[in-house]
A and B are shown apart, each in its own frame.
Chain A
C-alpha cells in the first residue's frame, strides 16, 4: 500500500499533493447532450458525471398525481456506470444509498428551484456517474445545477457543493486538527467527512450530510472551510455558465 492520510502531519501535504484548502481540478461543460432539455458534464478530479434534465413536463397520469398539484415535482435518478469504480460491481436498483442520494439531491433543489411556476409537472434529473473518486454527492449537485441552468428552469441561485474532512492523526491535540477541502476517494475512506452544499452566497446551507463520527470541536472549522469551498466552486460554475451564455448569444451553440 502507498502512504495513507497519517502522513499529512509530516509536511501538511495530502495524499495527492494538495494543501488543506485546495480544490481538485474542476472541469465543466454545458449542453453536452443535444437531445436533452438541459445537460452538463462535470469533473471534480477523477469524479466524472453527466447530467441530463427532462422537463418540466406534464405529470404522468394516474398514481403520483395526488400529492403536490400546485408545484412541479423533482425526480432524480442516479446511475452508476459499471466501470465507474475500482471493482465492476452491479448496484441493485433499490440500493438504499442510491435512493438516499436521490432524495438528498431532490430536496436540495426544491429549495432553490421555483417549482410553483410549473404546477402539475415533473422535472427529471438523470445523473450518470462515469467515474468515482470521492465527493460524489457534491459533484452530483454541481452537475445538476449546470444542467438545470441549461434547461432554463428558473431558480433563485446556484447550488454549489463540496466535501470537507478533518485530519485523523491529531487526536492528541484536538484544536490542531486541519480541515481538508474536497476529498478524493481514498481520503473519504480514511477520514471523517461531511458534504456541504450552499446557495445564495455563503450563508445559505441547503444540504449538509455527515455520516461519520466527528468531534464537536472540529465541526465548526470544517463547516466554515466547506462554505468557503462552496463559494469557490460557485465562482467556477458561474464562469462556466457565463462563458456558455456568451457562446449561445453569439449563436455558436445551438
Chain B
C-alpha cells in the first residue's frame, strides 16, 4: 500500500497556505460546510505614501498597472494626534456611522480592513455598496487592506472563540501591525512625523483588550467629539437603542421570526405584500396580497406594528368579525397628535393616544351601522417585516417639540421631524442644533424602530436650507424622489468628444463616422417641439412619391453614436434613467454638451440621426418600413404654435409647409385608426407655471393647451415606437427592451363605476380598452364640459402604470399596451432624455447589422435590472415634476385670495376633497373649518351610499355637498403656526 500522505510545504517563498472552514445555513434550512483555501502573502502593501518598502515589493496586475498608494503621508491632525492619524474603524462604526464617514471634510485616511468589509457586507448590502463607493472616491482616501491575506496580520480562529471575537482580534492585530510598520517606515525616512493609527470601536471589551495590547482605540462618539465640527457631526451618529432607560414599556407586539414568517407564507396562513399608507388617513394602511382580490386593510398603529409605507411586510388576516369598511374619514397626524412631547414617552398612555382611539372608535361604530351598503373588507395585522424600505427622509422640525428654554441653547434634546411624505410617521431625532434647524428643510435617516418607541428613531444627516426657499425646496424634492442631481463627475465628462462644441459631422464620407450611414441631407426635414426646447430629439419629413404614396421619415437624435455601452457616461445615464423636468430646472440624463448641442437635432446644421422611413399609402397604411443611421440637416425648428400657424396660413406654399400639411393629414388618419382600435384618451390635471424671465419667480398658472401639431408629432412618434418595437422583438425575441401597459383589473374601476351610476346614472364599461374609451365618451354633461375631463382624470387613477420590460420575461399577449391599444410598444424617440430609448437604439442598430450588440444588451438578467431601475426612475421623475409644479403653484398663490370653481372628487364623513382645474390642485376642506368650531371633530350627516354629506356651515345654515358637484371655493394660503410651513387652504364659498 502506498500512503497518500503529503507534506505541507510552502509552494513559493512568499506565500503560505491556510484554510478556512465555515458553516452556512441556506434559505431552505440546509446547512453547508464550506472549505476554502487561503494563500497568505507578504506583498500586500500598506498603501501609505510614507512607506517605501511596500512600494518596492508591490505586485501588479496583468496590465502591469500598480495601484497608486492612497493614504496621505501627512494625514489630518487633531488635538490628540498632532502628528496626524489613520483610522481603522470596526464593523459597527461603519454600520452606525456611515453618514459620518461620507461627510465632507472629516474622516479622511481611513483603512478599511477586509475583515470589516466582509462583515459589513454580511450585515447590510446597501451599506457595503456605499463603503465601496467611498473607497473609490479619491478625495476621501479610503484604502481596503486585505489583512486576512497578509501573513503578519492573519488570525486563525481558535477553538471555542466566537467569530466576532476572532474578527475583533484580527482588527486589533492589523492596527498593531500598521502601527509598527509605519514606525519603521517613518524611521527609514528619518521623518519625525509618524502618524498614529487609531482603532474606532464601540465595543468596550474590544477597546479594553486593545489598550492592553497597546493599540490606540476610541469609541466613535468620543473620537468625533475631538473633531473641530463636533456638534454637527455628533448629530449624525445614530442613537444606540440600548441607551434608552431600561424600564421603558413596550408598545408594540414582537415580530415573528423570519423562518416562522416564511413557513406561514408558504403554508398560506400568512401573506406577504408591500405596505401602503393612505394619504388621507395616516392610521390606515393597505396591503395587496395575491390571495385576495381586494386589498387588505390595516387599521391603527397597533396592527400596522411599526411598518412604514413601502416596507415589505407579512400580515395575518384578522377574524371575520373584525372586518371593516375602509375609512370614510380624514385623519391627519399633525392634527391628532399635535401636542405630543418628543422627549418623554412615559407620560403618554401607550401606543395609541386617547385622541387616536376616539377617532378609530367612531370608525367601528359607523361600519356596524351602515350594514350591507358598504361591505366590510378583510382586515389584517402586520406580524413582521421582511424588508425595510427606509430611505433618507426630508422634513422639517416640529416647532412644538423643541424645548422652550433651550431654543437657542446647544443642549442635546430630542425633537420630532415631520416628513414631507405624509404617509411616513414622525421621526424622533436627537440633536444639539434644534434651534438652528427650526424652519429649515432637514434630511434625516431612520435607524430603528424598537418596540418601546411609538415613533421611529433617526439621526440628522444635513440641513438643506430655509423652508420655502427655492434652493432648499427643489433639493428637498429631488432627494425625496431620489433624483441624482449632482454635477457629472470628471470620468463622465472625459467620455465626451474632445472637440466639444466644435464637433461637426465629418466632411469626408471616408471618415469612419459615415460608415453605414445614409446621406439624407437633401431631405426637407423640420422639428416641432414645445417653445424653448433645446434638447431636440426628433425631426420629421414627408415627401410625395411618384406612385401617389408618401414617404414619411422620423429622424431621432443618434445618441448611441456618442454614448458607448458601459463607459462611465453610459453608466451614469443608466443610473439616472431619465431627464427630470422641474418647473425652473432640468436635471439632465446626459451632459449638456450632448443633450443640447451635439445630439440635439438643431436646425441649419448637420447632425447624425437614426431614421425610420416608411412608405405610407393615402390612408396612412404602412407599405414598407426602413431603418437606417443617417446624416440630416433640419431646415427649421418650430414650436407647436408656430408650426400650427404656418400650416394654417394658406399663403405659404413652399415645400416645407407642404410637407407639414401632408404630415398633418396623415397624422389625423393615423389617430382615427388608433381611436377606432380602442386607444384611450386620458387626462391628467396638467398646468404650466408662468415665470418671470429674470428671477424665475412664478407669476401665473396656466393649464396646458393642446394643438393639432402636438398630436401630429405624437402620432408619428407612436408609429415609430411601434414599428421599432416589432423590429427589435423580431431580432431579439429574448432581450428586446419593450414597454407595456397592463389591463387594469376590474376591481380598480368598481368604485368609480358605482359612483357614476349612483350620482349620474352613467355606466362605465371596462371589459376592454375599446369599451372603456367609448363609455368614457358618453360620460359627459353638456352643461358642464369639465365633467368629462374629471371622469377621465379619475379613470386614469384607476389604471396600472406602464412599464418597461424585457421581451423574454413575458409571453407575447402580455406585451399589449392597454392605453395605446397596440400589441407591442417601446420607447425609441427620446434617447436624449430617456435611457430606455438609448438601449433600444443600440438594439435596433444591431438588428439592422450596423454594429454588433454589446454583451450587456444580450443578457436578460442585466436588462431586467436596467428595466427595474428605469421604471423606478421614470415614476420618480414624474412625481418630482408634479411636486415641483405643486410647489410653484403654491408660490404663485402666495399672499393672494382667489375664488375659483372646483369639483368634489371624494367625500369623507368629516370633510371632502375638491379639485380646482384652474390650478390643478386638489385640496381637503374639513367640516371643522367650515363650522368655525374649536372642537376637535365635527361630523356631518354622511350618506355613504349616496356619496352625500350634510352639515351646518357657520352663518349659512344647512348645506349639502355631493360627489362630482361643482362648487365655488376660496383659495388662500395659510402659515401653519406649529411648523412655520405654508399650506394652500381651500374654503367653501
Residue positions of A touching B, CB distance < 8 A: 1-3, 7, 10-13, 15-22, 24-27, 29, 31-32, 34, 41, 43, 45-46, 86-87, 133, 171-172, 174-176, 178-179, 184, 186, 213, 215, 221, 225, 253
Contacts and interface: CB of A to CB of B under 8 A. Distances in A.
Interface string B36-51: 1111110010000000
A25 B417 CA distance: 59
B11 A29 contact: no
Contacts of A10: 135, 144, 146
B41 A17 contact: yes
Contacts of A32: 2, 4
A13 B118 contact: no
Contacts of A133: 35, 37
B568 interface: yes
A41 B122 CA distance: 37
Interface of B: 1-2, 4, 6, 11-12, 15, 17, 30, 32-41, 44, 59-63, 65, 67, 114, 117-118, 121-122, 135, 144, 146, 148-149, 566-568, 571, 855-856, 858-859
Given A1-B122, A86-B32, A16 B39 contact: yes
Contacts of B117: 3, 7
A34 B1 contact: yes
A214 B61 CA distance: 20
B144 A45 contact: no
Nearest to B112: A10
B235 to A, nearest CB: 31
Contacts of B12: 22
B37 A16 contact: yes
Contact of B67 (A1, A12, A26, A46): A12
Contacts of A225: 62
15 contacts: A11-B144, A16-B36, A17-B38, A17-B146, A19-B59, A22-B39, A24-B37, A25-B37, A26-B11, A29-B6, A46-B37, A86-B33, A176-B65, A178-B62, A225-B62
B856 A12 contact: no
B2 A20 contact: no
Contacts of A186: 36
Contacts of B855: 213, 215
Nearest to B852: A216
Contact of A46 (B35, B146, B567, B859): B35
Contacts of A21: 62
Nearest to A30: B2
Contacts of B568: 172
B144 A7 contact: yes
A183 to B, nearest CB: 12
B118 A45 contact: no
Given A13-B44, A213-B858, A29 B30 contact: no
B30 A13 contact: no
Given A2-B118, A11-B67, A20 B35 contact: no
A31 B2 contact: yes
Smallest CB-CB A-B distances: 7 pairs: A17-B149, A17-B39, A178-B62, A12-B61, A10-B144, A171-B566, A25-B11
Nearest to B32: A86
Contacts of B35: 46, 133
B629 to A, nearest CB: 22
Q: Determine which residue in A15, A17, A184 has the highest number of CB atoms from chain B within 10 A of its CB, and name it.
A: A17
Contact of B566 (A43, A172, A178): A172
Nearest to A176: B63
A214 B63 CA distance: 18
Contacts of B59: 12, 19
Nearest to A12: B61
Nearest to A213: B855
Given A2-B118, A10-B146, A19-B59, 13 more contacts: A3-B118, A11-B44, A11-B146, A17-B149, A27-B6, A31-B2, A41-B4, A43-B6, A171-B856, A172-B568, A213-B859, A215-B855, A253-B2
